[in-house]
Structure 1
Amino acid sequence: MHTSATDLGNVASSAIVALPAGATFLTTRTDTGLEHVLVTPDFSDAESVAFAIARSMNARSDEVDEVPDLTRTAHVARLRLDRGSTPRPDTQAGADFTVLSRVIGDMLKPGEWVAMAVRKPSKSESRHNKIWLEHFGVRTHHSLAPNAVVMQLLAGGTDARRAMDLTVRTASAIPGFGLNVTGEKVSPAKLVTSFIVLAVLLAGAGIASMLIPQIAWPWWWTSIPAAVASAAVAVLFGRQVLPSFARTVRRLLPWGQVPVPSRRFGRWQPPKPARTVQNKETGALTEVPAQDGDYPLQENAFLVGPHLPLAFVSPHTGAGSGSASTATRSVPGELRAKVGPRAGVVDDSPVHLSYADMWEGLAAIGQPGSGKTALLEHLWGSLACDRKHPGAAFGLPARNAMVAFDTKGDGKATEQYAKWMEFAGDETDVFHVADPTALEGIELFPDLPGQTAHEWARDVVSAMQYIWGEESIGARSFDTLTNVMQASKLIARHGIAQRVVLRTLPTDASPWFYANLLLTNEGDEIGSELFAALADAAVQPDAPEEMAQAVATLSPIYGTGVTQAQRRQLVEAPRTKISALVSAEHWWSRPSTRTWDELLDQDRAVVINTGISPWGHVLDEKLRTDLSSLMLFTLRSAIRRTCVGWFESGRAVWVFADEVKHIANVSAEVISWMRNDARAYGLRCMFATQTPDTLIPELRRILLGFGTLALFKQKEGTTVREIVATLTLSGTTWDTPDLVNLRRYEAIISTIYDGSELEPFNAVMPDYRGERDAGTWAA
């Protein structure tokens, strides 16, 4: 097909000029694929016109005996201009006109259709359209091309809302359309409602005249027959006996046609520029603002270039027009052997990923429901089974710790991770962060040997800076939070809260609880008294030296001469950070805790569920994301302390995350370290994301640089282009349809073996959960 709008417009202009009014360009999806149909009234030159239109698209025309049955869809909608819409100078330069047909093909379900009826514009319509466009500064537009046509767009969907959505989405995909539009349901309901309301009003007026003589009018006796007649008209419109647009549509649908766009009713009001008017009597000057005037056509009619109806039925849609859903590629022979977990099935045979190369990470990318989470759960299950018998798979380390973050909020992944561990005959340490009744947790900031309270506080605030960013926690807030967390740690460690008399404070609370008080989030009085208790404890003979240091560092906030107003100003910025985390006090103050260091060293399988607990407890979305990011940051710190030399000694720590944006919401620092600098620590990352376009650019670039990519169905334009560009680096040819047309649970796998990158291939994910539950799953 011609890629230039000018070339396509030229060939389309000569092809479409002979079409009679009422010709319908139709795209519909059947059980076997897409059908692109041109339906015309019977006229002598029909075959030659159809041939010319097909030839202009480098396509073929075939005469058919029967048109598609458009009555299979009970709901029909048409495109309508939004009131007050103004044209935008949307260029067609560089546009790919096959995209319109591809978008339509991706949208349609079996039985659904989109149709465009066209006619020639009148001279006044063409003239008025040019005046209207020029008023808005649009002097180059496809509707100004020779032999432009007036089109009306309708769609049939499985329900009314979907039919309306189909019209709008189709219009938005038309290159250079440039108008704000909406969809409206084709139905006689408005006419029926209008006449029913009129009947009720007439009947009410007649009854009121009979009962209240004071308001009687001379012809009141005619209101009852008029009401009956109005109700009868409503019934006739509802049964589509009387002529209406809905009746016309229903009569044309069996013939594969939709109505011709009607002409505008009434006098057209042209746009007027801003001008100055002088009063003839007073001589005063008045500024009259510009007037946009009326839309030059009827609100359901649109003047478009002659090439757009052709693009509407372009058969250049690959999968949609009946060919394979995406290009198929042969599977590298090395992956047929059991070198790691199964990645999927190709030609009824399993293909595997390489355990030995997993240190370069795996990223699963795809839209919701495409299969990426199911893949991660299966990889977790495979590892759970294989780590009990490391020799069964080449390249698997002898010892493996496992950590999974379930951050989506529904807790479903946690349930599946636990079921896979049960299937493998192994134990899982599941931590439900939202559950206030749980007794066991993870001490994210443990007391390290020789670490002072000030050093501990700096580690805590560094983690906080990771989850909120350096702009949110600048140098001043960093120092304030460090000083407050240092004091809070000492208050918690030495039971200083029992010295407070203003109100009874718990002595077993977390440092976050006391930091929240020192930052006056519960009032200035309690914060001042808690500081006074700390200061009193610091002067005792047995007080540690760092307690006096903590009092000194808080003196800018609570020292002598600092007023309440000054204190409020000093803590204004950092107080919100602590108040956000203290709402999870049930997590920070659990009576029994283990550390990341212990869990890693013992090769435990750990699942962190920050979503809903089995008993219905939930965290708000922001707190869930903050805690998830905090846990990843502290896990990295523990890996640095605990996992030194693990790669060389045959040990590994596997980290799974089903939505990476929840663990790295503002910074790519940790993910970058895990990808580029953590090989010696035995780290292997298994991450997934459904919306890479929402990730910060650096993080998106890192994910696309992982050693293994499992690329599921994706439609977001920028992401699709980036992924296609990444695939072509392998030296093979890929295009956007290869990614957009993937089926559910089908993925393009790009991976490595023995350090060398292999050519990407397609694989289908079996129902691994079903195999597990049926007892038929095998490594």
Structure 2
Amino acid sequence: MRSFASSLSPRTAATFLAVMTTEGLENYLVTPDTDSMNKAALSAAHAVTGKLAYAEELPDLHDASAMGHLFFRPGGTRASTTQTGKDPFSMAASLADMPTGSWVAITMRAPHRGLVRHEDRAWDRWIKGRIVGGTHHSLEPNGVIAHVAAASTSRTSVDSLLRQVAGDMHGFDLETRNVSFPRRWVIAQLLAAAVALLVAGISTRIAAPAISTAIPPDVTTQVGTAVMILAVAPVLAMLAYIVWGRRYQARFREGRFPLPRRRWALRTKPPTQGNDVGRAESADDFSTPGAKKRNAGPGDYPLDRGSFKLGALLPVGALAPASGSASGTSETGDRHAPAPLLRRIGPVIGLDALGQMVRLSARDLWAGIAVFGKPRSGKSYLLRSLFAFLMMDQQPLPRGESESVEQSESMLGEQGAIIAFESKSGQDAAEYQAWAKTLGKKKVHVFDLADPDGARIDMFSTGAAPTDRAAKFVDTMIYHWGPESIGAASAKTLRGVFTTALGIPTAVLEDAIATHPDAPMPAPVATPMSIAHALLGGYGDEFGVHLAETIRRHLSDVKAGRTGGDRETIEIAVGGLSELYGPTVKPAARIGLQKAPSSKVEVLMLAPHWWRTDGRVASFAEILRRHLRIVINSGATSTASGASDDNLRLPAAVGDALSGMLLYSLREATQDVCAGWEDQGRYVAIISDELSRVAKNSPDVIEWTRMQGRSFGVIPIFATQEPEQLSEDVRRTMFSLSTVISYAQENSDVASQIAKDFTGGATEGFEVVHPKEVMDLARYMTLVRTVVDQQRLNVFTAKIHPFEDDRDAFRDTVYPPETEQ
């Protein structure tokens, strides 16, 4: 607010006006229509996190029948108050409970600092004589001279309202009273003077005969007549005062708020009261007994009694958005976007307060984007618009077809893989495909985890030998469930069974089922996962033992040449049986080793089709090398995205497990395939609409994308409903990303955490973000913290643009043909 106060002058005033209408509390800032004051108004709106909008006219201020002004009351008992720990916006909540039609206006100007009358010096001399320690809000730089007026339903209500305003200006320690114009005692004094003159004139004329011997009767009569005529002067003054007082009141009701009045006395007496009532001790307090002392007194109030010098922050509550019972809906104010983000430097995220397109820096996308938003807030909408930008950027138009230079150029390069993790439904996955059809010839492939006939991603493909592939697959399981859930013993057991499962043909399981009388029915799909499940006792210990024997017989057949196969690989697979099915392993010991790891494999077996090796299967390595664009959908399927049926759905635990393991597998494949991609102008964009599902227990992948992913061309874009859903390590990593975007949050603790990150180390001013700002964001409105060239910018608000309402106009919206203003 200090920057706002500095824009005022002794003849340029501004008024904070709070009016209670039938729609709730409305706050206005009334200033002259000049460039400097318009900028000052924007600064004030930022300071109170209010939404600035120009108003053609003020609401009707005539509804309230009674009106009053806050005046200094000499001789009152002062109560010292402090600003420490007090909420400067508490006045807003109090004003929200005013009766309908009531209003409060705080009009401010800068102090006069003339040679004859210097208000700052006079005030400082007076206030320092009243306080201990020399600290007071009015002594701060850029203090203002303020006048407070209020109107309500009755004089009693006005009196209460003015006391309430004075109490909510924390640090305001002057005794006050309610004054209305024209003041009755002034009228009474002038009327009494007129009556006194009239009585004196009449008495003089009556007494003329009695004093004729001393004064000629003609002289006495003339004097009496003159005195009676003089009685007209107080009457005229009274009438003029009444007219002035009514006009003065009318100016407030018409919204033409007058400047706070000046005191015209050339000199004012400073206070001489003792330290017991507040003045700092001086030499006079230690004079010898019997020495003559000055009479203690409060001194002369240095300003007009209807004017007060206030610290710049004290009146701010009259302008702040309210949150009281009658305030109506609260809404976060606009924070304008920094100028660098208005240039064509990357993807558009939305519109600022002036309707200008606000962008993120494409060159800084590698540093990551974190999005927080409650369900149906629009975060998925934002992620898809970022996906659309990447798709568009990969397919620039020929120069002859482009309507702007940027439409024919690529910022990030035309070679890039895009992998999106979608957790809601195939319908949402189909939106990605719709963008692809609109923006060019490149397709988007959807992998539905719940579709038994859909395309699949091979999660066993990394590594040459079965032991390597098994070890890496177990690592993906540890990433999802965490090292506490899969300890060293369980990991060893899992590596053994998956070494066996990945080293033998799946037909061996079919042979075991065909040759065992108590084989599982219906027979499971023969996959490496079902083999591991059987070896972990998933179909009973007897069948597990029978399967192990069948595997050993298969090795014997290969050795004897009775059947084909890679002998070395099968020998490695048989070696994996030693821990559970070695000659010395007892059933009780085997069950103890199987218990913990089998519970994880049981979850994965709830998606038996995902582990099939036939049909449409792709590896992440292939997806990355071919720069494909895929969506991994863990939600319900939809034929709109190419699924075999609608509303096929996996249990949440299964979808979360597969999504998390796929993210880890993607990281491993990226390290194998994408080394040096940044230098080659290639990238891997990883988009997740619900990070809590793919990084539930470990921050490893998220930290890697932020810290090491850049050299591999990784662009991380992650979203979640609220930080509290993430583990502490994952949450900390999310906030370390260079761009953080927040939609409205309902939980005050979550809002506080986001506000703390947005504020950084700032302690005051526009840089401070309040938790209430995060909670009061309107739908599709966001608070954004981002960087340009890794330089952090001020937080701003942006309303997400509805790109999906008109996909065909996307290029022209992001890169308009004409130069943006």
TM-score when normalising by structure 1: 0.58
- Say yes or no: does 1:594 pair with 2:618: yes
Distance 1:29 1:646, change over 3 A: farther
Distance 1:605 1:553, change over 3 A: closer
- Say yes or no: does 1:373 pair with 2:373: no
- Say yes or no: does 1:636 pair with 2:670: no
Question: Distance in 1 between the 2:329 and 2:567 partners?
Answer: 77
One-letter identity of the residue aligned with 1:404: A
Question: Distance in 1 between the 2:806 and 2:367 partners?
Answer: 29
Question: Distance in 2 between the 1:648 and 1:406 partners?
Answer: 29
- SS of the residue 2:538 aligns to: coil
Question: Distance in 2 between the 1:33 and 1:372 partners?
Answer: 31
Distance 1:63 1:527, change over 3 A: farther
Question: Distance in 2 between the 1:103 and 1:606 partners?
Answer: 54
Q: How does 1:159-170 map to 2 (within 5 A)?
A: none
Q: CA deviation at 1:473?
A: 0.7
- SS of the residue 1:778 aligns to: helix
Q: How does 1:196-595 map to 2 (within 5 A)?
A: 318=321, 320=323, 321=327, 325-346=331-352, 347-389=354-396, 392=407, 395-407=411-423, 409-425=424-440, 426-438=442-454, 440-446=455-461, 448=463, 451-492=464-505, 495=508, 497-498=510-511, 501-502=515-516, 509-540=526-557, 541=559, 544-589=567-612, 590-595=614-619
Question: Distance in 2 between the 1:28 and 1:525 partners?
Answer: 80
Deviations 1:499-547 (A, max 9, x none): 5511679797221011111111111222111100111223342662353
One-letter identity of the residue aligned with 2:666: L
**1:77 paired residue number:** none
Q: CA deviation at 1:713?
A: 1.1
Distance 1:724 1:499, change over 3 A: closer
- Say yes or no: does 1:763 pair with 2:798: yes
One-letter identity of the residue aligned with 1:446: S
**1:146 paired residue number:** none
Q: CA deviation at 1:552?
A: 3.9
Deviations 1:94-134 (A, max 9, x none): 897978987999xx9xx9xxxxxxxxxxxxxxxxxxxxxxx
Question: Distance in 2 between the 1:662 and 1:102 partners?
Answer: 40
- Say yes or no: does 1:606 pair with 2:630: yes
Question: Distance in 1 between the 2:320 and 2:471 partners?
Answer: 57
Deviations 1:51-86 (A, max 9, x none): xxxxxxxxxxx99659xxxxxxxxxxxxxxxxxxxx
- SS of the residue 1:318 aligns to: coil
**1:157 paired residue number:** none
Q: CA deviation at 1:413?
A: 2.5
**2:729 paired residue number:** 698
Counterpart contact for 2:361–2:788, Cα < 8 Å: yes
Question: Distance in 2 between the 1:327 and 1:681 partners?
Answer: 40
Counterpart contact for 1:102–1:317, Cα < 8 Å: no
Counterpart contact for 1:377–1:413, Cα < 8 Å: no
Q: CA deviation at 1:715?
A: 2.8
**1:669 paired residue number:** 700
**1:22 paired residue number:** none
Distance 1:343 1:507, change over 3 A: closer
Distance 1:447 1:348, change over 3 A: closer
- SS of the residue 1:522 aligns to: coil
Q: CA deviation at 1:697?
A: 1.2
Which range moves more in the overlay, 738-747 or 461-470?
A: 738-747
Counterpart contact for 1:730–1:759, Cα < 8 Å: no
- In structure 2, runs of 5+ residues without a counterpart are 1-18, 28-60, 66-83, 101-316, 398-405, 639-645, 815-821
Question: Distance in 1 between the 2:458 and 2:538 partners?
Answer: 24
One-letter identity of the residue aligned with 2:651: D
Which range moves more in the overlay, 365-374 or 644-653?
A: 365-374
Counterpart contact for 1:492–1:507, Cα < 8 Å: no
- In structure 1, runs of 5+ residues without a counterpart are 1-26, 36-61, 67-92, 112-313
Q: How does 1:728-739 map to 2 (within 5 A)?
A: 728-729=759-760, 731=762, 732-739=767-774
Distance 1:552 1:605, change over 3 A: closer
Counterpart contact for 1:401–1:654, Cα < 8 Å: yes
One-letter identity of the residue aligned with 2:589: Q
**2:23 paired residue number:** 31
Deviations 1:403-445 (A, max 9, x none): 10001x333431221211121133111111101132x211122
**1:680 paired residue number:** 711
Distance 1:361 1:766, change over 3 A: same
Question: Distance in 1 between the 2:372 and 2:492 partners?
Answer: 39
Distance 1:750 1:736, change over 3 A: same
Q: How does 1:714-753 map to 2 (within 5 A)?
A: 714-729=745-760, 731=762, 732-753=767-788
Please tell me whether Structure 1 or Structure 2 has the larger radius of gyration of its CA atoms.
2
TM-score when normalising by structure 2: 0.55
Counterpart contact for 2:690–2:718, Cα < 8 Å: yes
Paired positions, count: 492
Question: Distance in 1 between the 2:85 and 2:725 partners?
Answer: 26
Counterpart contact for 2:425–2:634, Cα < 8 Å: no
One-letter identity of the residue aligned with 2:498: M
Q: CA deviation at 1:778?
A: 2.9
- Say yes or no: does 1:709 pair with 2:740: yes
- SS of the residue 1:533 aligns to: helix
Question: Distance in 1 between the 2:90 and 2:529 partners?
Answer: 54
One-letter identity of the residue aligned with 1:606: I
Q: CA deviation at 1:575?
A: 0.9
Question: Distance in 2 between the 1:608 and 1:538 partners?
Answer: 38
Distance 1:733 1:386, change over 3 A: same
Counterpart contact for 1:708–1:749, Cα < 8 Å: yes
- Please give the root-mean-square deviation of Cα atoms over the aligned residues, in Å: 3.4
Question: Distance in 1 between the 2:357 and 2:396 partners?
Answer: 20
Counterpart contact for 2:509–2:531, Cα < 8 Å: no
Deviations 1:631-680 (A, max 9, x none): 10101011001110000000011011111101001111111111111100
- SS of the residue 1:343 aligns to: strand
Question: Distance in 1 between the 2:811 and 2:480 partners?
Answer: 43
Q: CA deviation at 1:317?
A: 6.2
Deviations 1:252-284 (A, max 9, x none): xxxxxxxxxxxxxxxxxxxxxxxxxxxxxxxxx
**2:177 paired residue number:** none
Question: Identity across aligned pairs (percent)?
Answer: 29
- SS of the residue 2:602 aligns to: helix
- SS of the residue 2:505 aligns to: helix
Counterpart contact for 2:373–2:744, Cα < 8 Å: yes
Distance 1:385 1:102, change over 3 A: farther
